[in-house]
């Protein structure tokens, strides 16, 4: 059942095929998924984990295929929160500050893709449009080549990393993708299955 998400995630539409017709429905969406590290949920905690560690985690998350995981732009591991931290004062930026930065990045993307039919944001960029907005300097090309070899990135994964790096650069207010933007984008490919 999960595998049926592959095409809609990739193309932004669903195709219903019957004997005499193929009908295409648009279905652009943002998928947010969550999973426990294993069936019991205690894989990272040696005191509470089941007797099947680490196989139970591999079996549990192995239900998600590599090609499906390859379509997730961001993979974030969220460790358990210590009880002492539950009562701690909130830190980091305010929601209003983050919202202003996101709005500015969206404006940059609106301007960047004006006149490009079907391209509204970095995630939509393909081909020559992707090459133009995600051009890398020599250091960035070396970093991506090394990462692609080490991580075994597919062409799809490579392009997704570029799009995420471009978005991180936009959020940073940078005109070009720099090594820190690429490093952060690559860090989102390191966790999870596949």
The pLDDT score that the predictor gives to residue 191 is 63
* Secondary structure class of 7 (helix, strand, coil): helix
pLDDT, residue 194, reads 41
pLDDT the model gives residue 37: 87
- Region of 87 (left: φ > 0; alpha: ψ -120 to 50; beta: rest) is alpha
pTM of the model: 0.87
Assess contact for 164 and 74: CB atoms under 8 A: yes
What's the pLDDT at 158?
Answer: 95
State how far the Cα of 56 lies from the Cα of 73, in Å rounded to an integer: 25
CA–CA gap between residue 95 and residue 194 (Å, rounded): 33
- The alpha carbon of 129 is separated from its chain's Cα centroid by a whole number of angstroms, namely 20
- Give average pLDDT by consecutive 10-residue segment, the chain, 194 residues: 88 90 91 88 84 86 89 89 84 93 97 92 94 95 94 93 98 96 93 50
Measured between alpha carbons, how far is residue 58 from residues 14, 64, 108, 127, 188 in Å? 30, 10, 41, 35, 19
> What DSSP character marks residue 82?
P
């Amino acid at each position: 059942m999960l595998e049926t998400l592959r095409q809609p995630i990739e193309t932004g539409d669903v195709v219903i095929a019957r004997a005499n017709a193929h009908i295409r429905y648009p279905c652009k969406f943002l998928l947010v998924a969550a999973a426990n590290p294993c069936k019991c949920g205690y894989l990272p905690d040696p005191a509470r984990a089941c007797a099947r560690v680490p196989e139970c985690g591999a079996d549990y998350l192995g239900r998600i295929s590599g090609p499906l995981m390859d379509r997730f732009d961001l993979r974030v591991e969220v460790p358990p929160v210590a009880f002492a931290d539950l009562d701690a004062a909130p830190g980091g930026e305010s929601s209003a500050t983050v919202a202003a930065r996101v709005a500015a990045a969206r404006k940059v993307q609106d301007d960047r893709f004006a006149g490009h039919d079907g391209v509204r944001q970095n995630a939509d960029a393909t081909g020559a449009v992707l090459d133009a907005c995600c051009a890398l300097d020599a250091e960035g090309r070396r970093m991506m080549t090394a990462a692609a070899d080490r991580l075994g990135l597919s062409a799809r994964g490579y392009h997704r990393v570029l799009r995420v790096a471009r978005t991180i650069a936009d959020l940073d207010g940078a005109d070009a993708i720099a090594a820190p933007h690429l490093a952060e984008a690559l860090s989102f490919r390191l966790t999870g299955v596949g």
